[in-house]
Amino acid sequence: MLQTILAPNPSPMTLDGTRTYVVGRERPVVVDPGPADAAHLDAIAAALDGRPPVAILLTHAHSDHAAATRPLAARTGAPVWMAAGGLGPKTEIVTRWIEDGARVETDAGVLTAAATPGHAPEHVCFLWTEAPAEHERALLAGDMFMGGGDTTLVAPPEGDLTQYLASLDRLEALRPSIIHPAHGPPIADGMEAIRRYRAHRASRIDQVVRALRQGDAAPGELIDRIYGPELHPGLRGAAEGSLRAILAHLAATGRARAAGDRHHLTER
């Protein structure tokens, strides 16, 4: 009742590739069609076994999740659902702009959208209920989590850490059982993963606060203070992105302030 189709797009950002999920058999849905790769589209079509999807669902618009949407919709005639609010170009392939709580019924249960902005403003997860026992309250989680890790990318302009932390709280209230991320293997204990991701982010925030205690600084100086000379040059961009998300979160919660590009703590 759940088929996982791994796309051939491995990278540091996508781990072993994007996982496309097919839920249900007679009236299936496809979650995150993935990259526009011919072999991957054929694998999705094989999983559908000739049955047109009730809907193609997108957790968010990033191309490693969404690029195959247009060819898959053309091939199957399925409607495309996603939430509005993304910074990318508005796409005419979307049939229905969904809101928090939108439900789609399959022959294997109901998927309900949970608005989870943070990685991207339009990000939603899908909670699977009325499902076969082993899938009850499974969460199709997009990029809220990365299988095998304890963090996910939250960086401006799309990423918002304050929203991301609120989305973790939101998901905790939904009491997911297993988590199926779009990258990496399933996470068996959903509630434990939520606590772990929250703790990881809190320790990153503390790290930045400690670095700011040494005096006001621009982001580049903060990265040097936090990581020292060991930081691989190829990781500096990602480090700066997540640092900027933390600085924005500290500003939004009144703990730090910026004068130009220099940041300082408002607390002691």
- Member of 32, 122, 143, 158 binding Zn ion (CB under 5 A): 143
DSSP label at residue 27 = S
Residues 6 or more apart whose Cβ sits within 8 Å of residue 109: 1, 23, 24, 128, 129, 130, 131, 132, 135, 136
Determine if 183 is a binding residue for Zn ion (CB under 5 A): no
Cβ at position 120, least distance to Zn ion in Å: 6
Beta bridge partners of 124: 115
Q: Which is nearer to Zn ion, 152 or 177 (CB)?
A: 152
Q: Which is nearer to Zn ion, 159 or 176 (CB)?
A: 159
* DSSP run (H or E) holding 29: strand 29-31
The region of 35-43, 138-146, 168-176, 194-202 touching Zn ion under the rule CB under 5 A is: 138-146
The interaxial angle of helices 190-213 and 219-227, nearest 10 deg, is 110
Determine if 123 is a binding residue for Zn ion (CB under 5 A): no
Determine if 160 is a binding residue for Zn ion (CB under 5 A): no
> Among all residues, whose Cβ is closest to Zn ion?
62
Q: Which is nearer to Zn ion, 121 or 176 (CB)?
A: 121
Pick from 126, 120, 129, 79: nearest CA to 100: 126
| 3-class state of residue 115 by DSSP | strand
Q: Which is nearer to Zn ion, 28 or 184 (CB)?
A: 184
DSSP label at residue 51 = P
Cβ at position 183, least distance to Zn ion in Å: 9
Q: Which is nearer to Zn ion, 8 or 88 (CB)?
A: 88
Determine if 32 is a binding residue for Zn ion (CB under 5 A): no
The region of 7-15, 18-26, 137-145, 234-242 touching Zn ion under the rule CB under 5 A is: 137-145
The 3-state secondary structure of 116-171, one letter per residue = CCCCCCCCEEEEEECCCHHHCCEEECCCCCCCCCCCCCCCCCCCCHHHHHHHHHHH
Check the CA dihedral 250-252-255-261 and report its sign.
positive
Q: How far is CA 177 from CA 166, 189, 190, 214, 265, in A?
A: 19, 6, 5, 42, 39
The region of 31-39, 61-69, 221-229, 231-239 touching Zn ion under the rule CB under 5 A is: 61-69
Cβ at position 238, least distance to Zn ion in Å: 13
Q: Are 40 and 8 in contact (CB under 8 A)?
A: yes
Cβ at position 105, least distance to Zn ion in Å: 27
Site size for Zn ion, by CB under 5 A? 2
Determine if 62 is a binding residue for Zn ion (CB under 5 A): yes
Determine if 170 is a binding residue for Zn ion (CB under 5 A): no
Cβ at position 13, least distance to Zn ion in Å: 8
Q: Are 209 and 225 in contact (CB under 8 A)?
A: no
Q: Which is nearer to Zn ion, 143 or 160 (CB)?
A: 143
Contacting residues toward Zn ion, per CB under 5 A: 62, 143
